[in-house]
Amino acid sequence: MSDKYQGFTSTPVGRILVRNLGLPDPTRLERWTEGAPLVDGTVLVGGSGRLAESLPSLLGTLGVTVTTVAPEEGRLKGLVLDATGLTSSSELVALRQFFTPVLRRLATCGRVVVLGTPPELVRGAERVAQRALEGFTRSLGKEVGHGSTVQLVHVADGAESGVASTLAFLLSPKSAYVSGQVVRIGAHGVTDVPVVATPEDLVAPLAGRVALVTGASRGIGEQIARVLHRDGARVVGVDVPQAASELQALMKELDGDWLTLDITGKDAPQRIAHHLRSKHGGVDVVVHNAGITRDRKLANMDDARWESVVAVNLTAPELITRELLEQDLVRDHGAIVGVASIAGIAGNVGQTNYAASKAGVIGLVDSLADELAEQGRGITVNAVAPGFIVTQMTAAVPFATREVGQRLNAMAQGGLPVDVAETIAWYAHPASSLVNGNVVRVCGQMMLGA
């Protein structure tokens, strides 16, 4: 679905109105396509922290062109600063010294990544300095414009070997609609678990793996299934019986498997577990995507609206996850991913039921991250929190509401289902074993509330 406003702003008349009235001017975002390079341009690397020395060779193994000295002319596609060495507030000037001379040379849809240390893992003046990085990156994300993104990656001491998949995602067009986010690597005590070696097939890192996706027949779920299949996974799609024909058609196209049931049914967790054990011997990636809305202000909310939303969006993922873990069906270095929502972080009028359920998904991540880390099997749990994603559902939203929803972010546009799917594929990557307990917003960096 095309963005008609974005099309209008590219016309001669639209350009005049944007310039004279200060209207939002969204940049057409670059998204990754099969066969394209991971990063189409040069990345400047700087800093003097724990990762500085290894970053050029690490990025080189990903096929990224790297320089440690800013060239005198030309555009830069990415800027990466290792700020793990900053131990006091007076040293924060290094941020200005690195970025200010080169920011104007950042290419359209460029990428900025700052590497730091989880503040909760250090003390005193160092904690102060490392916590300051979050305010810096979130603000810079709202300044850079032109479709560019800014992220902060906190890397625990000892987890340096686990940054490759995260840098690959954040520096590439796969993270087109992700900005102003904080990612933690190794912050949940999983640094003793060896990171899965880089897959032999870089094009299909999930080859030989099984991925369960609920709500897979359409919308965001369909794109999740497609992207995981693209990356080599055997997808098992789950959806309600009413969506059976769509689900079966998609899974046949992707050479996948399917199961139709109501995930809120009493025996649903057991049926899913039995299917995965008998047909696939287990599962490597579990994506809880199925979700519904039943909006109404709380004063007018009836039991059915409340209970159905919580049951589908939260209770079912809880019970299914617990069943799969108790039956030991999630294989080592597996990934569990919940689909939360910006509504669960910032709230939304008329969505107390929905927001509660999606905040609960974040709670599920919080409750399981340390538990899984303590098992020492490299199983991770993370969540994505989509903002305004353009789907058939949002197309039915009244025009004025839809336009406001799309423009109130740093990119002044809505995201696409593939943006959510790419984020989940990063979580599912075999080399993301130290990415645990994260909630990443796929929202173009919302201007308000989150």
Q: Is residue 426 part of a domain?
A: yes
Q: Is 5 an annotated catalytic residue? A: no
How many domains does the chain fold into?
A: 2
CATH code of the domain in which 136 resides: 3.40.50.720
Residues 235 and 366 in one domain: yes
- Active-site residue, from 5, 177, 354, 427: 354
Residues 279 and 407 in one domain: yes
Indicate if the pLDDT at residue 101 is higher than 90: yes
**Could you read off the pLDDT of 190-231 as tens digits, one per residue?**
555 555 556 667 789 999 999 999 999 999 999 999 999 999
What is the per-residue pLDDT for 338? 98
Indicate if the pLDDT at residue 376 is higher than 90: no
Residues 228 and 119 in one domain: no
Q: Is residue 45 part of a domain?
A: yes
**Could you read off the pLDDT of 397-450 as tens digits, one per residue?**
677 677 777 888 999 999 999 999 999 999 999 999 999 999 999 999 998 665
Residue 73 belongs to domain spanning = 36-185
Of 133, 151, 185, which one is at a domain's C-terminal end? Answer: 185
Q: Per residue in 278-287, is it b (16+ CB within 10 Å) or e — as a string?
A: eebebbbbbb
Residues 332 and 228 in one domain: yes
Residues 406 and 353 in one domain: yes
- Higher pLDDT residue, 192 or 68? 68
Residues 106 and 247 in one domain: no
Residues 181 and 218 in one domain: no
Of 150, 185, 220, which one is at a domain's C-terminal end? Answer: 185
What are residue 337's DSSP bridge partners? 287, 382
Q: Is residue 367 part of a domain?
A: yes
Residues 142 and 237 in one domain: no
Residues 128 and 170 in one domain: yes
* Burial of 137 (C-beta count, 10 Å sphere; 0-12/13-18/19+): buried
Residues 113 and 237 in one domain: no
Averaged pLDDT for residues 147-155? 98
What percent of the chain clears pLDDT 90, i.e. is strictly above it?
83
Averaged pLDDT for residues 241-266? 97
Residues 146 and 267 in one domain: no
Q: Is residue 3 part of a domain?
A: no
Phi/psi zone of residue 108: left (φ > 0), alpha (ψ -120 to 50 degrees), beta? beta
Residues 299 and 171 in one domain: no
Q: In what order do the strands lie in the sheet containing 181-185?
A: 65-67, 42-47, 76-82, 106-116, 149-155, 181-185
Q: Is residue 13 part of a domain?
A: no
* Helix or strand (DSSP H, E) at 431: none
What is the per-residue pLDDT for 194? 54
Check if the beta carbon of residue 147 is closer than 8 Å to that of residue 411.
yes
Check if the beta carbon of residue 237 is closer than 8 Å to that of residue 257.
yes
DSSP string, 400-412: HHHHHHHHSBTTS
Check if the beta carbon of residue 153 is closer than 8 Å to that of residue 164.
no
Measure Cα distances from 158 to 86, 96, 162, 184, 188 in Å.
17, 27, 9, 13, 12
Of 151, 170, 185, which one is at a domain's C-terminal end? Answer: 185
**Could you read off the pLDDT of 313-334 as tens digits, one per residue?**
999 999 999 999 999 999 999 9
Indicate if the pLDDT at residue 267 is higher than 90: yes
Q: Is residue 450 part of a domain?
A: no
Q: Is residue 14 part of a domain?
A: no
Give residues with Cβ within 8 angstroms of 389, minimum separation 6: 220, 414, 415, 416, 417, 419, 420, 442
Q: Is residue 414 part of a domain?
A: yes
The beta strand positions in 272-321, using DSSP E, are 283-288
